[in-house]
Structure 1
Amino acid sequence: MTSTLGALTVPLIQAPMAGGPSTAALAVAVSQAGGLGMLAAGYKTVEAMAAEIDDVRAGTLIFGVNVFVPEADPSDPGALAAYAAALAPMAAELGVAAPEPGPFNDDHYAAKLDYLVANPVPLVSFTFGLPTADDVARLRSVGTEIVLNATDPEEISAADALNPDAIVVQGIEAGGHRATHGQAKEPAENTTHELVSSAREYTDKPVIAAGGVSSAAVARNLMDAGASFVQVGTLFLTVDEAGTKEAHMDALVSGQYRDTVVTRAFSGRAARALSNRFTERMTANQVAGYPQVHYMTAPLRAASADNPEGLNLWAGTGFAACRQRPAAEIVAEFRSL
C-alpha cells in the first residue's frame, strides 16, 4: 500500500469536485479528520491551482490534486453550432449574449504538470482519460503517487497498464462528470458494486470505490466486495467548508428534487445531476462537445446563480443523505470501516 493512502486513519477519499465545491478548507478538514482531502485543479489557471496548494499545505501534509486529461475525442463543429443555436432562446430569456462555440481548451494541462513536477504534492489523480507513461514517470520521479480513474473493465485494464498506486472505479451512481476515457464514449451501466467485484480480474492495484457511497453501510458493502477505500463526493457538497453555490446546496437538502439524470446538457460530457428545467429543456439537443459546451453554457449558468432550475446541480443517486454539517462529521461516520 502506498504511503499517502497508507497514512489515512479513515479509508475515505474526498472526491475532487471542480467548478467551486472543492476548496482548500474542505481538503484540509477531510485530511485533518483522517481521510484524504483532494483539490480539483480543473477549470483553474496554474496560478490559482498553486495558491490553493499553498493554502492546503499550511493545514495538512496529506492531500492530493486532481487534473483533467485533455479530451481525446474531438468535438464536431457542426454539432457544436447546432447546440449553440438550441441554447440561444434560453440565453435571450436570461439576457445574455447568444452562445458561440469556442476553440478547444486543454485546461493548461502541460503547465499544470510542469508545476506539479517542480513543486511536488503527495498524490495526483487524473480524470477524463489517462496520462502518458512519461507523465506518470515524471511525477513518480519527484515522489508523487498516482491515482487513475476508470468506469468499466476495459478502462481498468488500461489504467492498470500504467502501474498506478490505486485505481478509482466509478459506477453509474456517481454524481458529477463520469470519468470515461473520451467524451464520445457512452457511460457504462456498471454499478459501483459490480465494478469493484470484478476489478480483481483486471488489476491487482488497490481499488477506490466511487459512486453512490452515501453511508458507512454502503462503504462497508463495497469494501467487503474488494475495495480498499471509498471515494465520497455528493455528501461533501453540502458541508460547511465546501464552495458549492447556495442554490445547489439548497436543492440537495430541500427535498424538492427527487430524481437524477445523466446528461451532457451542461458540459458536453456525460454527468449526473438533479433533473431540472435546464436538463429537461435540452434533452433532445445535447451533444458530445467537451469542453466547448461547458464554456457555452457558463454565461447561462452564471445568470441563473440563484435559480436551481438553470444550474448544473451535480448529484449522485444517494443525494438524499446530504445534510449541512462540518466535513469532519462525515469522515467520522466512516471511521469504523
Structure 2
Amino acid sequence: MKSWPDRRILDLFGIELPIVQAPMAGATTPEMVIAVSEAGGLGSLATAQYNLDQARDAIGVIRKGTARPINLNFFCHKMPAPDAARAAAWRARLEPYYLEKGLDPEAPAPAAGRTPFDDALCGLVENTRPEVVSFHFGLPDPALLARVRATGAKVIASATTVAEARWLDERGVDAVIAMGVEAGGHRGNFLSDDMARQVGTFALVPQIVDAVKVPVIAAGAIADARGIVAAMTLGASAVQIGTAYLFSPEAKLPAVHREALKTASDDNTMVTNVFTGRPARGIVNRLMREVGPLSAEAPAFPLAGAALGPLRAKAEASGSGDFTNLWSGQAARLARAMPAGELTRTLAAEALARLGAR
C-alpha cells in the first residue's frame, strides 16, 4: 500500500497528508501553520488569540509563506452577561494568592476575553478566503455561516458527543472533528456542560462515523503513527494533532509550559475550568489542585482569566507555572521534539508504512 485508504479529507481540503494541525490559541504561530501546510498537512491558525488587526497580519504572514490550503479557526461562544457578584467571589477566592505574591488584590484586573465569531471576523474570512474554516463550541449564527460558505471555504467543527456530531451534520458541515476527552486544551462541547459524560476518542470516533454522512477527523491522544492508524482503522478519514506540535520550535509557549510538557505523563492532566471559565485539559498545577479542577466559583468563559493575569505573570517571572494554563493532552509522552514540518512528514510516513504492512 503506497496511498491512503481514505482520500475524502485529502480531496476535500486539497492537501497531501491526512494530518490537521490543531489550532491552539496562544501556542500556534504563523510559522507553525506555514510549516505544516508546506509539509502537505493542513496548518490551522487559532484566530481567537488575536484581535482583528493582529489576525489580519498573521494571515498575511502565512499567505506569504505558503500558497497551500490553510484553516482559520474561530470560537462560537456567547459572551456572558456581567456578573459582579460572581466576579467579586472569584477575586476573593484568589486574594490569598495575591497577598502571598505581594500583589494588590484590589487592583483592577486586566481585560480578558476571546472574541466570538462575529460580523467583523466574518469579513476577515471574506477578505482572506481561507480554504478551510473551523469552529469550536458549535457553529455561528446561520447568516454568518452562509457568508462563510459563500467564500468557498470548507466548514468543519468539533463534536465531543454523537449528539453534537449529528447536530453539526444536520447543519451541513463538510466534516466533523471527533474530539475525545483525552485531547488537550478547551473542550469543544456545546450541547452539554457535563464533563462526567465526555467520551474517549477511540469510543467516540466509530460511533460518530456511523452517525454522520460526512468524513470524520479524529482528535485526542493521537501523537504518533500508532494513533493515526488506530483512528483510521476506526473509520476516521484524517486526524487532528495538537499536543505533539507543542514540542516543535515553532510553538509559542512560556518556558514553564515547555518544561512541564517534558515531564507530562498519562495521568497528570485534568479537565479544569479555573483558567478561563470553560473546561479544558492541562497539566496539573497548584491552582488546579487547590481551587479546582472544576470550580463553581470561576466566572463564565472567557472572564475567569482576567484576575489570574497578575498572578500568572508574577509566578512565571520566578520560573513557576503555578498559575499558568499548561494545556496538554493525555498522550504528551508519545510526542517527539522536532520542527513542525518534519513532524508532519514523519508521522505521515510512519503511519503509511504501518498501514501498508497490515
TM over 0.5: yes
- Displacement, 1:98? 2.4
**Mean Cα displacement is larger for which, 242-251 or 322-331?**
322-331
Residues 69, 109 of structure 1: 8 Å contact kept: yes
Distance between the aligned counterparts of 2:225 and 2:293, measured in 1? 38
Distance between the aligned counterparts of 1:119 and 1:217, measured in 2? 36
Are positions 1:269 and 2:282 aligned together?
Answer: no
Amino acid at match of 2:142: A
- Displacement, 1:80? 3.5
Task: Report the counterpart of residue 346 of structure 2 in structure 1.
Answer: 333
Out of 179, 202, 206, the residue aligned to residue 188 of structure 2 is 179
Amino acid at match of 1:45: N
Residues 75, 290 of structure 1: 8 Å contact kept: no
Distance between the aligned counterparts of 2:309 and 2:136, measured in 1? 21
Distance between the aligned counterparts of 1:177 and 1:6, measured in 2? 24
Residues 280-295 of structure 1 mapped to structure 2, 5 A cutoff? 280-283=289-292, 286-287=295-296, 289-295=300-306
Deviations 1:229-275 (A, max 9, x none): 10000011120111112211111114699611111111111011111
Task: Report the counterpart of residue 138 of structure 1 in structure 2.
Answer: 147
Q: 1:274–1:25: structure 2 CA closer, same or farther, 3 Å change rule? A: same
- Displacement, 1:303? 2.2
Are positions 1:154 and 2:163 aligned together?
Answer: yes
Task: Report the counterpart of residue 95 of structure 1 in structure 2.
Answer: 102
Task: Report the counterpart of residue 86 of structure 1 in structure 2.
Answer: 93
Task: Report the counterpart of residue 58 of structure 1 in structure 2.
Answer: 64
- Displacement, 1:198? 0.4
Distance between the aligned counterparts of 1:284 and 1:108, measured in 2? 25
**Mean Cα displacement is larger for which, 84-93 or 45-54?**
84-93
Out of 34, 38, 46, the residue aligned to residue 40 of structure 1 is 46
- Displacement, 1:184? 4.2
- Displacement, 1:6? 4.0
Query: What's the TM-score once normalised by structure 2's chain length?
Result: 0.86
Q: How many residues align?
A: 336
Q: 2:333 is paired with a residue of what secondary structure?
A: helix
**Mean Cα displacement is larger for which, 151-160 or 68-77?**
68-77
Out of 66, 78, 83, the residue aligned to residue 71 of structure 1 is 78
Q: 2:207 is paired with a residue of what secondary structure?
A: helix
Query: What's the TM-score once normalised by structure 1's chain length?
Result: 0.91
Task: Report the counterpart of residue 109 of structure 1 in structure 2.
Answer: 117
**Mean Cα displacement is larger for which, 34-43 or 116-125?**
116-125
Distance between the aligned counterparts of 2:333 and 2:272, measured in 1? 19
Gaps of 5+ in 2: 1-7, 353-358
- Displacement, 1:149? 1.0
Out of 269, 283, 288, the residue aligned to residue 260 of structure 1 is 269
Deviations 1:71-121 (A, max 9, x none): 377686544432221111112223334277899956163211122123321
Task: Report the counterpart of residue 314 of structure 1 in structure 2.
Answer: 327
Distance between the aligned counterparts of 1:90 and 1:102, measured in 2? 17
**Mean Cα displacement is larger for which, 40-49 or 105-114?**
105-114
Amino acid at match of 1:308: G
Q: 1:257–1:313: structure 2 CA closer, same or farther, 3 Å change rule? A: farther
Identity %: 32
Are positions 1:188 and 2:177 aligned together?
Answer: no
Residues 67, 126 of structure 1: 8 Å contact kept: yes
Residues 216, 334 of structure 1: 8 Å contact kept: yes
Amino acid at match of 2:201: T
Task: Report the counterpart of residue 313 of structure 2 in structure 1.
Answer: 302
Amino acid at match of 1:297: L
Distance between the aligned counterparts of 2:311 and 2:261, measured in 1? 21
| Runs of 4+ deviating beyond 6 Å | 99-104
Q: 1:284–1:207: structure 2 CA closer, same or farther, 3 Å change rule? A: closer
**Mean Cα displacement is larger for which, 205-214 or 277-286?**
277-286
**Mean Cα displacement is larger for which, 278-287 or 138-147?**
278-287
Residues 110, 306 of structure 2: 8 Å contact kept: yes
**Mean Cα displacement is larger for which, 254-263 or 79-88?**
254-263
Residues 91, 97 of structure 1: 8 Å contact kept: yes
Q: 1:252–1:174: structure 2 CA closer, same or farther, 3 Å change rule? A: same
Distance between the aligned counterparts of 1:45 and 1:4, measured in 2? 32
Distance between the aligned counterparts of 1:297 and 1:162, measured in 2? 37
**Mean Cα displacement is larger for which, 103-112 or 21-30?**
103-112
**Mean Cα displacement is larger for which, 279-288 or 265-274?**
279-288
Amino acid at match of 2:121: K
Distance between the aligned counterparts of 1:16 and 1:283, measured in 2? 25
- Displacement, 1:214? 1.7
**Mean Cα displacement is larger for which, 73-82 or 25-34?**
73-82
Q: 1:170–1:87: structure 2 CA closer, same or farther, 3 Å change rule? A: same
Deviations 1:113-136 (A, max 9, x none): 122123321111111222122222
**Mean Cα displacement is larger for which, 73-82 or 216-225?**
73-82
